[in-house]
Structure 1
Amino acid sequence: MGDRNEQAVKMMQEGKIEDAANLLNEEIEENPNDPIAYINFGNLLAAVHEDEKAVKFYDRALELDEALGTAYYGKGNVLYNLEKYDEAIQSYQKAIDVSLTESDVYYMLGMCYYMKEEFARALPSLQRAVELANDDVDAQFYYGLTLAQTSFIDEAMEAFQKVIELDQKHADAYFNLGVGYAYKDDAKTALDFFNRALEAQPDHALSANGKKQMEQVLYGEGENEAE
């Protein structure tokens, strides 16, 4: 029984979606009370963006075993993709309640609140996510954004600095550091970070605008005199 589920997961990872679906169908027909097969089928449907159908499979798994954190997590991801953030929050919270306490769950829970612009609520979940996975670039970045949104500017800049340590081409992190230094009236350092953002991503429009503004602050008067 377990072998078929494992084979199906392996096939999904290899992109053999139809073969995986056939295997899971067989598993469900032979073992209709196996919740793992329903979770795997939900994951498969989610992977091909059959979101509404995926939810039904996660719900079926939870009817069979209401303590399956991975089913709540999978369902939460689908609901998040459907922008049903309140429902996704309930699902992620259920996953945590039944002891699925991995970084990804806290990250996604935090992202739901972030998308709802409830930054004070997003902050503890994202903080927990980076505590559990200090090398997760996305979690660090959104933790930084949320810190900035809640006026913890120094802490936000530390988070963006960590992002750059993990990914030296993260243009958005350089940009946000530039914004942080501009906020602190350090135009020279801000300009340096906007330039680094543009090196990482030449079409980064916000950084181009930031660069122009900092150049105006630093050199504007001199340019005007030269004219």
Structure 2
Amino acid sequence: MEDKNTLGVQYMQQGKYEEAVKCFNEAIEANPNDPVGYINFGNVLAAVGEEEKALKFFQKAIELDDSAAAAYYSIGSLYYNRQQFLQAKDMFEKAIQKGMENADVFFMLGMSLMFLEQPRLALPYLQRAVELNENDVEAIFQFGLCLAQLEFVDEAMKQFHKTIQLDENHADAYYNLGVAYAYKEDVQTALNMFTKALAIQPDHLLAGHGKKLMEKALKQH
């Protein structure tokens, strides 16, 4: 019954949740011991905000097959959205242990660890996410932030430059480059970066503050 699941996923991607529910329902009825239908059904419920019901479907999938990596990933995503980062981390780790190898799961595990203020542990996962998806702007940017927190400034700057190559309107990447250049005492370049961040996002308070500091520093030279 794989085709009902495939069709349901297509409907879900188009935002046609009712049609998706119908397909996954049929998939489950036709094949009640296959965890895939339950995971898909849970994902639809999560997408429409029915989180408690969604959890039950993910748990059912794990009862049927405790190596269903996608179920752990989906539970992790629910916890992550609720800002329960410790529980999210455990679930993403479980998904990886059960064989999930895509960029998303490494990114989500890395981000959970960043929110838990464990950048050293987050670093290899964010790095892996970037290796697996070299054009993921957000993963590259977050990898840069993680490197910066660990004071690998040059490595971090490379990632922020990459971010801007992929998305020239990424205000936060310019802002963080400004901070890095200021740290390196390259005041003029830092000022340029803060100015660029503000051109993209005029209400960027941190960039505004950085710009003032650099202007002051230039006057004192």
What is the TM-score of this pair, normalised by structure 2? Answer: 0.95
Q: CA deviation at 1:94?
A: 1.4
| Structure 2 segments unaligned to the other structure (5+ residues) | none
Provide, for residues 37-82 of structure 1, a one-character-per-residue CA deviation record: whole Å limited to 9, x for no partner: 1010111111112222212111111111112221111111111112
Equivalent residue runs for 1:131-150 within 5 Å: 131-150=131-150
User: Per-residue deviation at 1:209?
Assistant: 1.2
Q: How big is the shift at 1:198?
A: 1.3
Which residue pairs with 1:105 in the alignment? Answer: 105
Counterpart mapping for 1:41-190 below 5 A: 41-190=41-190
Letter of the 2:24 partner, please give it. Answer: L
Looking at structure 2, the residues matched to 100 and 26 of structure 1 have their Cα atoms a distance apart, in angstroms, of: 26
Code of the aligned partner of 1:128: R
Q: Partner amino acid for 2:114?
A: Y
**How much does 1:101 deviate?**
1.0
Paired residue secondary structure (2:215): helix
Deviation for aligned residue 1:27? 2.6
What is the letter of the counterpart of residue 19 of structure 2? D
Could you tell me how far 1:153 is from its partner in structure 2?
A: 1.0
CA distance in 1, matches of 2:53, 2:68: 19
One-letter amino acid of the structure 1 residue matched with residue 6 of structure 2: E
- Paired with 1:133 and 1:11, the residues of 2 have a C-alpha distance of 25
Tell me the CA shift for residue 139 of structure 1: 0.8
What is the distance in 2 between the residues matched to 1:24 and 1:120? 40
Distance in 2, Cα, partners of 1:124 & 1:24? 36
How far did residue 32 of structure 1 move? 1.7
Q: Which amino acid in the other structure matches residue 124 of structure 1?
A: P
- RMSD over aligned Cα, in angstroms? 1.4
Q: Distance in 2 between matches of 1:123 and 1:53?
A: 34
Matched, 1:12 2:12: yes
How far 1:5 sits from its partner (Å)?
A: 1.1
**Which letter does structure 2 place at the counterpart of 1:121?**
L
Deviation per residue, 1:168-191 (Å, 9 max, x gap): 110000000000011111110000
Superposed CA deviations along residues 132-189 of structure 1, whole A, max 9, x for unmatched, are 1121111111111111111111111111111111111100000000000111111100
Question: Partners of 1:52 and 1:147 in 2: how far apart?
Answer: 36
Name the aligned partner's letter for residue 14 of structure 1: Q
CA distance in 1, matches of 2:15, 2:103: 26
Over the matched positions of the two proteins, sequence identity in percent amounts to 52
When Rg is computed on C-alpha atoms for both structures, the one with the higher figure is 1
Alpha-carbon separation, structure 2, partners of 1:15 and 1:104 = 21
Structure 1: stretches of 5+ with no match in the other structure: 223-227
Runs of 4+ aligned structure 1 residues displaced above 6 Å come to none
Q: Name the structure 2 match of 1:225.
A: none
Cα offset, 1:99, TM superposition: 1.5
2:103 and 2:14 mapped to 1: Cα distance? 25
Q: Give the counterpart letter for 2:181 in structure 1.
A: Y
Q: Tell me if 1:211 matches 2:211.
A: yes
Instruction: Provide the C-alpha distance between the structure 1 equivalents of 2:107 and 2:97, rounded to a whole number of angstroms.
Output: 15
Aligned partner of residue 44 in structure 2, secondary structure: helix
In structure 2, distance between residues paired with 1:180 and 1:147:
11
1: distance between equivalents of 2:119 and 2:48? 31
Other-structure match for 2:33: 33
